[in-house]
Amino acid sequence: MTLVFGLITGTLFGVFLQQAEAIRFERQVGAMRLIDMTIVKYMLTTIVVGSIGIYLLRDLGVVEFAPRALSLGLQVIGGLVFGAGWAIIGYCPGTSIGALAEGRVGVVWPILGMLLGGIIFAFIYPAVQQYIAPIGAFGRLSVADVLGVSHWVVIAFLAVGSIALFKFFEKKGL
C-alpha cells in the first residue's frame, strides 16, 4: 500500500510541478539569476500551506515528526556545493525526472551526472562523517525551539513574510 501511495502522491506532485512550470530549466536558473521568481513563489506557497497542515495534524495528535538534525558543517558546505551544481545543470533531483517526462531530453546528462555524484558520495561518505558532520552539530532543532516561541508564531511570520515577498515580486514583474 505504501508503494501505491508513493505512486499516487508522486503523480499528483508531478502534475502540480509541471502546471506551475517549476520543472523548467529557465525557471530554475531564472530564479538563481534573480530574473524569474516562479519557483520561489511555488516553493514558499507549498511550505506555508504545508507547515500549517502538518502542524495542525501534530497538534491534533494525528502525526509525530521531528526536523532533520542540524550540522552546520553538513548543511552549509553541502548546501553551497548543491547550489553550485544546481546552477550548472538547471535542475534539482526531483524536477529532473519531471523535465525528462515533458520531453526535455537533454536532462539525461544532468541525471547521469547526479547518478555519478551518488557513487562519488559513497566513497567520500566516511570522510564527510568524520570531518564535516561534527562541525556545529546541534541535533533536531526547529526554529520555534530555538526562538522559544510557539510554532504558530513562526508559521505566521513565514506566511506574512512570504506574502510581502510575493507582493514585491508581482510589483517588479519577477
Task: Assign 33 to helix, strand or coil.
Answer: coil
Task: Assign 24 to helix, strand or coil.
Answer: coil
Query: Shortest gap between Cβ of 155 and other proteins (angstroms)?
Result: 7
Q: Which of residues 21-50 bind other proteins (CB under 8 A)?
A: 21-26, 29-35, 38-39, 41-50
- The verdict on 94 binding other proteins (CB under 8 A) reads yes
- The verdict on 8 binding other proteins (CB under 8 A) reads yes
Instruction: Give the separation between CA 117 and CA 110, rounded to whole angstroms.
Output: 10
- The verdict on 156 binding other proteins (CB under 8 A) reads no
- The verdict on 100 binding other proteins (CB under 8 A) reads yes
- Contact present, 27 and 95 (Cβ < 8 Å): no
Q: Which of 59, 134, 140, 160 binds other proteins (CB under 8 A)?
A: 140
Query: Shortest gap between Cβ of 157 and other proteins (angstroms)?
Result: 10
Closest CB to other proteins among 109 and 168? 109
Task: State the DSSP code for 59.
Answer: H
- The verdict on 105 binding other proteins (CB under 8 A) reads yes
Query: Shortest gap between Cβ of 159 and other proteins (angstroms)?
Result: 11
- The verdict on 5 binding other proteins (CB under 8 A) reads yes
Q: Which of residues 63-92 bind other proteins (CB under 8 A)?
A: 63, 65-72, 74-90, 92
Three-state DSSP string of 74-131: HHHHHHHHHHHHHHHHCCCHHHHHHHHHCCCHHHHHHHHHHHHHHHHHHHHHHHHHHH
Query: Shortest gap between Cβ of 79 and other proteins (angstroms)?
Result: 3
Query: Shortest gap between Cβ of 128 and other proteins (angstroms)?
Result: 6
- Contact present, 58 and 144 (Cβ < 8 Å): no
What cell was used for 143?
Answer: 526554529
Instruction: Give the separation between CA 37 and CA 20, rounded to whole angstroms.
Output: 12
Q: Which of residues 110-139 bind other proteins (CB under 8 A)?
A: 110-126, 128, 132, 138
